[in-house]
Amino acid sequence: MLPRADGEQRPGLLIVLSGPSGVGKDAAIAALKARDVGVRYAVTATTRPRRPGEINGVHYYFYSREEFEAMVARHEFLEWSWVHGHMYGPPIAVVRGLLQEGHDVLLKIDVQGAANVKKRVKDAIFIFLAPPSIEDLVERMQKRHTESAEEVEVRIANAYKEMAALPEYDYIVVNEDGRLDKAVDEIQAIITAERLRVYPRRAEII
Amino acid sequence: MLPRADGEQRPGLLIVLSGPSGVGKDAAIAALKARDVGVRYAVTATTRPRRPGEINGVHYYFYSREEFEAMVARHEFLEWSWVHGHMYGPPIAVVRGLLQEGHDVLLKIDVQGAANVKKRVKDAIFIFLAPPSIEDLVERMQKRHTESAEEVEVRIANAYKEMAALPEYDYIVVNEDGRLDKAVDEIQAIITAERLRVYPRRAEII
């Protein structure tokens, strides 16, 4: 537990940053990391092979497919998902350890994963990073990818589905074009405000 | 109602800044005003005589004692109090008007007044501006005033009483010596975060 200005102990906050695919979650996390807002980022476990220069426990926890599946079977992930043929997920033990040490933990999770975290964690703080509009999101996707019309349609359908999750969140931060700094300012303000609560939300992993 | 980035209307927030006498509420408000954080400050009504240069409806609403007392009798103040022999209080009609126009309203109120506001308003946001310690608060008072030992004792007793109200508040901001800017940053972060809620608190005056 970190000491508070008033001398009391404050338990760690669990902040979940989520939002539709393509909205800019990675860029927001990178900008937050550059600012050093005093949160910890839980190292994710993956079955993806280690690349040169990557350190186990720093960049990822590298597991074999068998190890990862055994952990899934034991419900040892807050949530997990497939990305490009590999499994990824934050181990509960890692997140719980950081929280118990009093660190505020920020997790970047897709919308589906956030719904799962919501079931497993009491009193986490959910921030929805939103595009200015669905049209804008689709446009960004089209700029980023060279995809068939069918693939684009699937992505649009997904975007609507993901936007529909908004009512489950605590905060909405709009990532306007070319104004990532404003979005990151707002995320930082949310973290600051949550730290100032007389009754801070104490994340409990069930 | 002011438009939100996502096109929906957001009702005005009512933010109550309070805290023990001598903690620095006036200085915090002055600093907030200088920053222009997009909130409105409800003009207070008073029975104090108008001073040269003061404009009715801008600096204060100036009322006679009889008018003020009639308004008190009709419960037309959010709260009111005596200060140096004059009556002061924010008229409900003023606060309600600003909120209905979609403005976020900031009220500076003493601890006793804040308790009354809490009874009259649903979903206001209560910020407690706190000294680093009771000892610090007493020291500041002693620097500001040349008072008898008895007067100081009364003030210390009041400070304890006022600090005891903390559990009724949503947020605590510590006004550390020489770090008013940090306290004002934190108040600003709270206002920003509350504006970003998926379900903003809509202040309702009962």
Give me the DSSP letters along B72-109.
HHTT-BS--EEETTEEEE-BHHHHHHHHHTT-EEEEE-
Radius of gyration of chain A measured on its C-alpha atoms: 18
Which residues pair with residue A40 across a beta bridge? A105
Q: What pLDDT is attached to residue A176?
A: 93
- Substitution target in A16, A128, A196, A197 with the highest count of B β-carbons within 10 Å is A196
Choose one of B89, B123, B150: the last residue of a domain: B89
Query: Measured between alpha carbons, how far is A12 from A36 in angstroms, rounded to an integer?
Result: 16
Q: Is residue A98 part of a domain?
A: no
CATH code where residue B54 lies: 3.30.63.10
Of A56-60, A150-154, A168-172, highest mean pLDDT: A168-172
Let me know if residue B126 belongs to a domain.
yes
Say whether both B141 and B55 belong to one domain: no
- pLDDT for res A152: 78
Of the candidates B9, B2, B11, B7, the residue with the CA atom closest to the CA atom of residue B194: B11
Q: Could you tell me if B203 and B14 are in contact, meaning their C-beta atoms sit under 8 angstroms apart?
A: yes
Residue A107 has pLDDT above 90, yes or no: yes
pLDDT for the residue numbered B167: 95
Record: contact B171-A196, CB cut-off 8 A: yes
**pLDDT at residue B145, as a whole number:** 63
Determine the average pLDDT of the residues in A177-201.
Answer: 96
In a domain, B181, yes or no: yes
In three-state secondary structure terms, A126 is strand
- What total of structural domains would you count in chain A? 2
B156 shares a domain with B193: yes
Tell me, what's the pLDDT at B9?
Answer: 63
Co-location of B73 and B30 in the same domain: no
Q: B112 and B195 in one domain?
A: yes
User: In A, which residues are within 8 Å of B190 by CB distance?
Assistant: 189, 192-193, 196
Q: Span A112-116, mean pLDDT?
A: 90
Whether A7 maps to a domain, the answer reads yes
Cβ within 8 Å, pair A198-B132:
no
Residue B177 lies in a domain: yes
Considering the domain architecture, whether residues A139 and A185 belong to the same structural domain is answered as: yes
Instruction: Determine whether the interchain pair A198/B5 forms a contact, defined as Cβ–Cβ distance below 8 Å.
Output: no
Of B205, B171, B200, B206, nearest in space to B12 by CA: B200
A136 Rama sector, left if φ>0, alpha if ψ -120 to 50, beta otherwise: alpha
pLDDT per position as a tens digit, A142-166: 776 666 778 778 888 888 999 999 9
CB contact under 8 A, A132 and B5: yes
Shortest distance, CA B192 to any CA of chain A (angstroms) = 6
Task: Kindly list the residues from chain A whose CB atom is less than 8 angstroms away from the CB atom of residue B136.
Answer: none
Distance between CA B111 and CA B172 in Å, rounded?
Answer: 13
pLDDT averaged over 10-residue windows placed end to end, chain B, 206 residues? 50 92 91 93 93 92 97 95 91 94 93 91 95 84 73 84 94 95 97 96 88
User: Which pLDDT score is estimated for A16?
Assistant: 96
Domain residue limits at A35: 2-41+105-205
Query: Quick one: CA dihedral B59, B61, B66, B72, positive or negative?
Result: negative
Regarding whether A62 and A133 lie in a shared domain, the answer is no
pLDDT at B146: 64
Contact call for A188 and B189, based on CB within 8 A: yes
- Asked whether residue B163 is assigned to any structural domain, the reply reads yes
User: Looking at residue B146, which CATH number applies to its domain?
Assistant: 3.40.50.300
Whether residue A70 is found in the same domain as residue A136: no
pLDDT at A1 over 60: no
State how far the Cα of A1 lies from the Cα of B58, in Å rounded to an integer: 47
pTM of structure:
0.89
Contact A196 B130 (CB under 8 A): no
Q: Is B180 found in the same domain as B150?
A: yes
- Boundary (domain end) residue, out of B89, B119, B147: B89
Q: Is residue A145 domain-resident?
A: yes
B190 with A188: Cβ contact below 8 A: no
Q: Measure in Å the smallest separation between the Cα of A148 and chain B Cα atoms.
A: 29
The reply to whether B138 and B77 lie within a common domain is: no
Give the number of other Cβ atoms within 10 Å of residue B182's Cβ.
Answer: 14
- Say what the pLDDT of residue A28 is: 95
Q: Are A108 and A66 in contact (CB under 8 A)?
A: no
**A–B CB contacts, 8 A cutoff, strictly below:** 70
pLDDT at A40 over 70: yes
Chain A CA closest to residue B6: A132
- Considering the domain architecture, whether residues A35 and A48 belong to the same structural domain is answered as no
* CA B169 and chain centroid, separation: 13
Regarding whether B138 and B80 lie in a shared domain, the answer is no
Q: Provide the mean pLDDT of chain A.
A: 89
Same domain flag for B108 and B35: yes
Kindly state whether residue A94 falls inside one of the protein's structural domains. no
